[in-house]
Structure 1
């Protein structure tokens, strides 16, 4: 009798623990990361509507360091957003790590002021019909050497903005918070992709390798910030000519694949001279095709669910909204990338 009671008690406790880590409400989101003048295509609008997207994380501009001019915005987008859509716009700013390696505190004070000014200016110029913006997100691959300056900048930004500030979080600082610190923001988005340097390890999928992903996750530790999740919904082809990396190809995969001969896992050889997407492919060129299939994404989701402690409500973002890249997934598959987190 005692053994039966103990068993029932164990099951109830286990179920309680399991439920406490379950996401009850998933907010559907996309990143939009194009670096030119843009307007959502009709297909992209249909994707947003069909997937009940409530947030769009939009790269407003990037910041890089120039030895003569200091920290300057580059790759600005001239946004063209549509009147009163049913989703929130979250401005994102990508800041190169060198900004924090080469800047003094006084320069970071100025940078924080300039970023808020420029975000507000772009909203007034291009997003007049969009409701008030209540969150901005900073994106930076900070390192141990840049951590102090980056965190100082985030603190300064919070003092000026006085609304919600989030940041992206790569897997290395997520795994080693004692070493890399906890960014002083309201919440973080864990970027579950781009785990491997594509030019250093050419044998693995550099966008998403689930074995590599598992190494960074720890089910026994809860990160001290609210965590959202970002997953990749894009693929790329890395072109090597004369055994030297030439460029990354993001489009026209279906036109390129028929002229490729497999040589080893992930690697192909070009069998025909052809020009596609302004790229001249020659016989003998090598291509590494890092393809992200729905099956791989679902596998990654299962790993994340088992090894990350979530709050009841979490935003799941797909990177990124691009009709060309999203052709490889059905509407049902895209929908499952969100819904699997609540199952």
Structure 2
């Protein structure tokens, strides 16, 4: 048997350790615009039990109309008092997150983007004072599905936001711009969060789980290629159901556990409603309606983590963020499973 030289052995060991994550900051996204007080205690317990370091809280979204121009919508229901004990300082960092629709950058001039940067910063400061008791904020995250055609305007906005806010700026990064930075550009920010979910348009492929399809995920990962910016990771811990009535898509339901008893499986991912029922006094399901149930199990998340560890070059210290903090969705996982969604990155 041919011997391996000590030098080659050293290189092999060094390269195998290069991608080793040594520390993970546990985080959640908070994406709710309304919230029931009954859920606070359970969600508080999750934050405590999972040693959460950060909460990325969606403060609002920015949309566009010809009549109004750019305007904020979907304001957060988050309140610091709901998740912290009285007279005790928050044990986690809160990062204001703003989702901006791509149409904003299709329609806006540079002058309007200058104003948008000022307005976003103003609203973040306003909400910080009102909902976070003037908590010190050091980072802002911008969430946008930018395209090659809107890249110039989006990057211009990000460059303007940095000096206006005087804060660290991070952005979400979908898998397509992650794989093709030459085509899509690298955002002019401090760091990015790789969004490892919502890989497929929910309505285009009836045979695949649009939230997380492992083959689709792997197709975007390039072994050995390091992204030019610090890379954090976001994973899904939610499931949903797409409702089809008379073979036409009518909406998405998130309270999947309530609906399950009324369904009969007809093929992979697909179910049929077997009893007329009303969900939350708003959605009426009739016998024969079709439902596509896209479920995210703990095992699927473990497999996604293994793919990411194998194919993505990560720094020694990263933040792993789960989407999102919601008691109804998180009851589908044990405390131990949630813990492993973080700890598996260091194993």
Is residue 236–residue 296 contact of structure 2 (8 Å, CA) maintained in 1? yes
**Is residue 231 of structure 1 aligned with residue 235 of structure 2?**
yes
**Any residues of structure 2 matched to 1:31-180 within 5 Å, and which?**
31-36=29-34, 41-82=40-81, 84-128=89-133, 130=135, 132-180=136-184
Aligned partners of 1:203 and 1:81: how far apart in 2? Answer: 41
CA drift of 1:129 comes to 5.7
**Paired residue for 2:330?**
326
CA offset digits 1:210-240 (Å, max 9, x no partner): 0000000011210000000000000001010
**Is residue 298 of structure 1 aligned with residue 302 of structure 2?**
yes
Aligned partners of 1:233 and 1:292: how far apart in 2? Answer: 6
Aligned partners of 2:150 and 2:33: how far apart in 1? Answer: 25
CA drift of 1:254 comes to 2.9
Aligned partners of 2:259 and 2:131: how far apart in 1? Answer: 37
Is residue 38–residue 80 contact of structure 1 (8 Å, CA) maintained in 2? no
Is residue 38–residue 78 contact of structure 1 (8 Å, CA) maintained in 2? no
Aligned CA RMSD, in angstroms, stands at 1.4
**Paired residue for 2:190?**
186
Aligned partners of 1:129 and 1:225: how far apart in 2? Answer: 30
Which deviates more, 210-219 or 63-72?
63-72
**SS of aligned partner of 1:41:** helix
Aligned partners of 1:133 and 1:59: how far apart in 2? Answer: 14
**SS of aligned partner of 2:3:** helix
CA drift of 1:79 comes to 3.4
**Paired residue for 1:261?**
264
Is residue 31–residue 76 contact of structure 2 (8 Å, CA) maintained in 1? no
**SS of aligned partner of 2:305:** helix
CA drift of 1:5 comes to 4.8
Is residue 32–residue 58 contact of structure 1 (8 Å, CA) maintained in 2? yes
**SS of aligned partner of 2:234:** strand
**SS of aligned partner of 2:318:** strand
Aligned partners of 2:114 and 2:227: how far apart in 1? Answer: 28
Q: Tell me: CA distance 1:5–1:292, structure 2 relative to 1, closer, same or farther (3 Å).
A: closer
CA drift of 1:38 comes to 7.0
Query: Could you state the TM-score of these two structures normalised by the residue count of structure 1?
Result: 0.96
CA offset digits 1:74-96 (Å, max 9, x no partner): 11125321252100000000000
Is residue 24–residue 313 contact of structure 1 (8 Å, CA) maintained in 2? yes
Q: Tell me: CA distance 1:291–1:302, structure 2 relative to 1, closer, same or farther (3 Å).
A: same
Is residue 241–residue 286 contact of structure 1 (8 Å, CA) maintained in 2? yes
Aligned partners of 2:8 and 2:265: how far apart in 1? Answer: 52
CA drift of 1:208 comes to 0.3
Aligned partners of 1:143 and 1:292: how far apart in 2? Answer: 27
Aligned partners of 1:38 and 1:166: how far apart in 2? Answer: 30
**SS of aligned partner of 1:310:** coil
How many residues are treated as equivalent by the alignment?
Answer: 339
Instruction: Structure 2: give runs of 5+ residues left out of the alignment.
Output: none
Q: Tell me: CA distance 1:331–1:178, structure 2 relative to 1, closer, same or farther (3 Å).
A: same
